[in-house]
Amino acid sequence: MNLVTICGHNTTMLYHMLNHYHLHMDEIFVVLYAHHKKDPIIEQGLEILNKFNLQPHEIIIDEPFNWERVTEHYNRVKLLKPEDWWIVADDDELQLYSKPTYQIIEECEEYGYEFVCGGFVDRIGDNGDFPKITMESNVWEEMPEAGFFRYPLSYACPNKVTMMKGKVQVSSGQHYVQFPDGTTSCQREHDKRYPIEKNFTQVHHFKWDYSVLERLRQVSKTKANVSFAQEYQLMYDEIEKSDFKIDLTKEEFMFQRISNGNYHQLENWEKLRKKIVSI
């Protein structure tokens, strides 16, 4: 099993992300996505990787907030081992599976499945606040509220392809499989997809820390992708309306307090799964 992640803009969650996965991986591929040669993310990323005895697979200088380019890098790295299994996760995504991944892979190999899907669980701090995360933080406890607010606020796609054969290509944002005929797995049954009734991966999204508000402003001004800029501006505007908090009382956000990483504790997951796959 291989892990590939791309770290760009900041390294707030990189340590926690690697700590979540590293004991379960045969090999880890970290791409540091810098915006210029003196970008501090390079030095910060190298320092964190050193704690896990890792070296970056690549250091790339590329346009900021260009998610199409990010996806191209994910697909290119996975093709290094086209028949191996890979977890693809951004550096703020901690995936939880319904059972050990080796069991899922064994079933995939037996029945010919080539990719596993899931969806976002949005994490936020106490009282809907955006907490400051450091390397010493326990992120599950610092962001104990698990819900589903990003899609209702900004219509951002909540679907993710989480585990796949290296040859399986993903679409922009890693939301769907990109098939050779130009179609995607969006709202589709597919004979190569592991049954979502048996596992629909929870992608706990720790994006929503104190640094995200400035990032939302920056992305909303980017010209790299107009649709993403509009989505981020909408998200910022909605958060601003609620005094820069997320309203934990809104029923549609389906919040539940879970201060650990236990897949089976999320009571609304079956209901949320059905909603996510319909999007």
Indicate if the pLDDT at residue 250 is higher than 70.
yes
Residue with tokens 């390397």: 135
> Which residue bears the tokens 């939880």?
96
Tokens 């995200």 map to which residue? 212
- Give the CA angle between residues 211, 66, 137 to the nearest 5°: 25
The alpha-helical segments, DSSP class H, found in the chain are 14-21, 40-51, 67-78, 101-111, 139-142, 150-154, 212-220, 226-241, 269-277
pLDDT > 70 in the chain, percent: 98
d(CA 105, CA 108): 5
Domains and CATH numbers, the chain: 2-277 (3.90.550)
Evaluate if pTM is beyond 0.85: yes
pLDDT tens digit sequence for 263-272: 999 999 999 9
As a whole number of angstroms, the distance between CA 116 and CA 95 comes to 12
Length of the chain: 279
Q: Which pLDDT tens digit goes with each residue over 168-181?
A: 999 999 999 999 99
At 99-110, the pLDDT tens digits run 999 999 999 999
